[in-house]
Amino acid sequence: MIQDKFNLFFSGHCLDAYHLFGAHRNRESGKTEFTVWAPHAKSVRVIGAFNYWDREASYLAKIDDRGVWSLTLDNVSEWDIYRYVIEDWKGKLTEKSDPFAFYSELRPSTSSKVVHLEGYNWEDQEWMQNRSINYDRPMNIYEVHAGSWKIKENGEHYTYAELADELIPYCVENGYTHIELMPLNEYPFDGSWGYQASGYFSLTSRYGSMHQFMYFMDKAHKNNIGVIMDFVPVHFVKDNHGLRMFDGTPQFEYQQYSESEWGTCYFDLAKEEVRSFLMSSAAFWCDVYHMDGIRVDAVSNLIFWKGNKNNGVNTGAVDFIKRLNYDVKDKFHNVMMIAEDSSDYEGVTKPSIYGGLGFDYKWDLGWMNDTLKYYAMDPVYRKYHHNMINFSMAYFYSEKFIMEFSHDEVVHGKATIVNKMWGLYNDKFAQARNLYLYMYTHPGKKLNFMGNEIGHFREWDENKENDWFLLQYPVHDSFRRYLHDLSKIYLSHSCLYKYDYSWEGFKWIDADNAEQSIYTYYREDEESIMVVVLNMTPVSHEKFEVKVPMKGYYTEVINSDKDIYGGYNMCNYKPVKSVHKKQKDIIRIRVAPFAGILFEIKK
């Protein structure tokens, strides 16, 4: 009977292995049960203050021939630290953190902690019942590194609770619908930003306690803000206290050790127990912390061996992805699964039952790369690269894409979004405003990394907070106001999001005006039509003609050249009436250099 409860774990279909393994303390009895999977260990002991760190005091018993070890102790207190001592097949003893620990010591210490996850009084029931995958809803994601959004004057990090009281009102005010948090599982090296994890069930202790983070999630939900967290099932740190050679053999990693490009160990995703471990981790964050979305990192490195398509498809990893998405979605119907994937692998957002990978969304990294290369180009040459902008709609409906400018675009010598733009100071901001109007009117959900909204010039550094002092300067404050207004327009106009993934939501007006480098298109739904004009050159036009889909009066909703945004007020202040010319309806408008303009007509 004892073995029966572990069968699902060993079959690779377990989503709640955190109930089976780890340190579970019963508050009523005071007893704590330690359970760990170590199939090739010769013996397993647990050490801590409760047994004076005596390696000979507390041996776990092997309760399952497949490598499950367990021991119950009655003198362990909540918040006690502990480690496992693994004796490998050679007799060597190694101290390890608990792979299923729910909390850990603050780095650089590495011991696990005995904690209770229960006891928080959630108040987000209405949100949890009504949340959605958001295909036909607006989704404006603010990507955040919890340790550097803001830092206290004394250099300390904000706690999860303090971050909740600062960050969530900021997101509400600035029109964000979701927060995406860079990984919050435990990790030893700050410079890995959480993408080289050591604890897949352990909330990082850098920013406070589990209940403080539950408060963060609860407050987000009560303010109608969803939360997505980055999840890394590709690789893990090779630090000696972690998963590498856990039982003295390659237990979690491939039998033939292969170091990743990040200097880490690849998970062996063909191994059923590893699948259960990682699937349970993803489910854990949804179950225990009410996470609304899981963004899976480095999917191309999962699909292809070491991320290189020339090495062939990693079938074990592909099968794991399909199972992860199917099983998590089956248990948590309204949790979003999102792929960060730079490959051209087909069917990433196609349901797994139809042969796809089963993600709900995929980051459009191709769009991001083409777009930023175009905006960095001298406008003189843009007419020769016109398809770098119009090409995205040629493939857009093949997947459900998120348009993203993430942390990866503003680090390691890549320059920030504003600083990537061609030209001098004012030209950079003019084009950045144009860029964001393009982004917010292009089909697909939106994601922006923190700092982008204030026109950051310094690349992101995890040890420094955003340069909030920039808002003392008019050009940066105006840029923030522009992003704020653009976000609010996006949220309040359903034609900009309702049919993101349907052909009926987007139409080109003129995709081929390479000579003038001007793009025109429109978004529509049952309520209204919004016409977009993007001028990619420093040339102005007093009476530029735009073909429109219906006759009537077109009202300028936002113009990136308004002085309140840092422009020069070459705008269209009165509604523009269409005229009939050569069997088509047109409007004649003013177009400023590098202007992005949005017009609306009600149906």
Instruction: List Cα–Cα distances, 4 to 11, 63, 66, 101, 274, in angstroms.
Output: 11, 11, 12, 23, 18
Could you say which DSSP state residue 106 is in? P
Q: Looking at 194-272, which runs of residues are DSSP E strands?
A: 199-203, 226-231, 235-236, 265-266
Pick the catalytic residue from 87, 98, 340, 561: 340
User: Which value, to the nearest 10 degrees, does the dihedral of the CA atoms of residues 243, 352, 395, 531 take?
Assistant: -100
CA proximity to 404, closest of 429, 454, 439, 373 = 439
To the nearest 10°, the Cα dihedral for 559, 563, 568, 569? 50
Nearby residues of 220 by Cβ (< 8 Å), 6 or more positions away: 164, 168, 179, 226, 227
All residues at 6 or more sequence positions from 323 whose CB lies less than 8 Å from its CB, including other chains: 12, 13, 275, 279, 352
The active-site residue out of 88, 273, 297, 556 is: 297
Identify the CA nearest to 231 among candidates 161, 180, 273, 190: 180
Q: Residue 180 and residue 139: Cα distance in Å, rounded?
A: 11
Task: Please choose, from the candidates 460, 457, 458, 452, the residue with its C-alpha nearest in 3D space to the C-alpha of residue 480.
Answer: 452
* Per-residue DSSP letter, 306: G
Q: What is the DSSP string of 439-485?
A: HHHSSSEEEEETTGGGT--SPP-TTS---GGGGGSHHHHHHHHHHHH
Residue 297 falls in the annotated catalytic set = yes
Q: Contact at 8 Å (CB) between 420 and 434?
A: no
Closest CA to 466 of 500, 416, 509, 514: 416
Q: State how far the Cα of 289 lies from the Cα of 214, in Å rounded to an integer.
A: 6
State how far the alpha carbon of 112 is from the alpha carbons of 22, 58, 202, 205, in Å: 10, 16, 9, 11
Strands 401-405, 361-363: pairing is: parallel
Which amino acid does the sequence have at 259? E
Q: Tokens for 302?
A: 């999962």
Quick check: is 340 catalytic?
A: yes
**Other CB atoms within 10 Å distance of the CB of residue 601:** 22
Backbone dihedral angles phi then psi of residue 437, each to the nearest 5 degrees: -65, -40
Which of the residues are catalytic? 297, 340
